[in-house]
Amino acid sequence: MDGSGKGNLDQVKHVLLVLSGKGGVGKSTITTELALAFRHAGKKVGILDVDLCGPSIPRMLSVGKPEVHQCDSGWVPVYADPQQQQQLALMSIAFLLEDSDEAVIWRGPKKTALIGQFVSDVAWGELDILLVDTPPGTSDEHLAVLENLRKHRVDGAVLVTTPQAVSTGDVRREITFCKKTNLKILGIVENMSGFVCPHCSECSNIFSKGGGEELAKLTGSAFLGSVPLDPLLTESLEEGRDFLQAFPESSTFTAISHIANTLLNSLNA
């Protein structure tokens, strides 16, 4: 791409990164659910999936294997809701792979180069919020995203953790990464926070309890809320269904909506 990609983020009002030092805590899940919540609130949303080795978002939004087209400004994002008014745009390396089981076995420099293109050369158009889903860690992908977003305002990062110490231990390092790179921390989400047995309603703290809130206190960050372990949410993500539309009565819906509204308020403030 030559300079034709310049300005692709000019009409994106807010950029929000979803980070965690730890793998498997639900970054992609929270990114997907926040995007759906923002869309239900009438916002135009984009998701940039920069997890090049394990891109999960396309499946969670039931997008399948569309072709990525080019236009004068660059790559056209894939819309997760083509029947509607293109309210949810998505870009992921999953769309560029012929075979979905193919491994992307790239070292840092190659990942950095593609992420640069993803950030600058996708013709997002007008968006209220662009969510960036990241892989775990504090390495090439994270540095590449921030370097390429330098010219554009980044509102901040949402950090996802599970309650247990093994998770919060890694997320502390991610908080340090945010501080070192001057990335504002919008808050911490504690995911997989308790499991209510559907048979007897007994609550089990499978991944411990309270770690996210403690971490927020320890590091002076905002605590955005807890999302419980919910097999209905996991199933919805497996099948690419909109959980928020399907299960609006659930406590998980309440938890996610609360977090989304808190974020919307802080972005508009």
Point out which residues bind another protein (CB under 8 A): 21-25, 28, 53-54, 56, 59-60, 100-113, 135-140, 142-143, 162, 164-166, 169-170, 172-177, 180, 195, 197-200, 202, 204-208, 229, 231, 234-235, 237-239
> Is 24 annotated as a binding-site member?
yes
> Is 27 annotated as a binding-site member?
yes
> Is 20 annotated as a binding-site member?
no
CA distances from 23 to 19, 55, 135, 200 (A): 10, 13, 7, 31
CA distances from 34 to 9, 146, 255 (A): 20, 21, 11
The percent of the chain in helix, strand and coil, each rounded to the nearest 5, is 40, 20, 40
Where would I find the beta strands (DSSP E) of the chain? 12-19, 45-49, 70-71, 74-75, 78-79, 88-92, 127-133, 156-161, 185-190, 195-196, 203-204, 223-226
Type and span of the H or E element at 252:
helix 251-268
Looking at beta carbons only, is 71 or 113 nearer to another protein?
113
Looking at beta carbons only, is 71 or 165 nearer to another protein?
165
Looking at beta carbons only, is 215 or 267 nearer to another protein?
215
Residue 41 CB, shortest distance to another protein, in Å, is 25
Looking at beta carbons only, is 67 or 199 nearer to another protein?
199
Residue 107 CB, shortest distance to another protein, in Å, is 5
Residue 193 CB, shortest distance to another protein, in Å, is 13
> Is 179 annotated as a binding-site member?
no
> Is 71 annotated as a binding-site member?
no
Residue 238 CB, shortest distance to another protein, in Å, is 4
> Is 22 annotated as a binding-site member?
yes
Looking at beta carbons only, is 227 or 263 nearer to another protein?
227
Rounded CA separation 269/267 (Å): 6
Rounded CA separation 168/150 (Å): 28
Residue 54 CB, shortest distance to another protein, in Å, is 4
Residue 125 CB, shortest distance to another protein, in Å, is 26
Looking at beta carbons only, is 126 or 239 nearer to another protein?
239
Rounded CA separation 139/53 (Å): 13
Phi, psi of 228 (to 5 degrees): -75, 165
Which residues carry a binding-site annotation for ATP?
21-28
Q: Which residues are annotated as a binding site?
A: 21-28, 197, 200
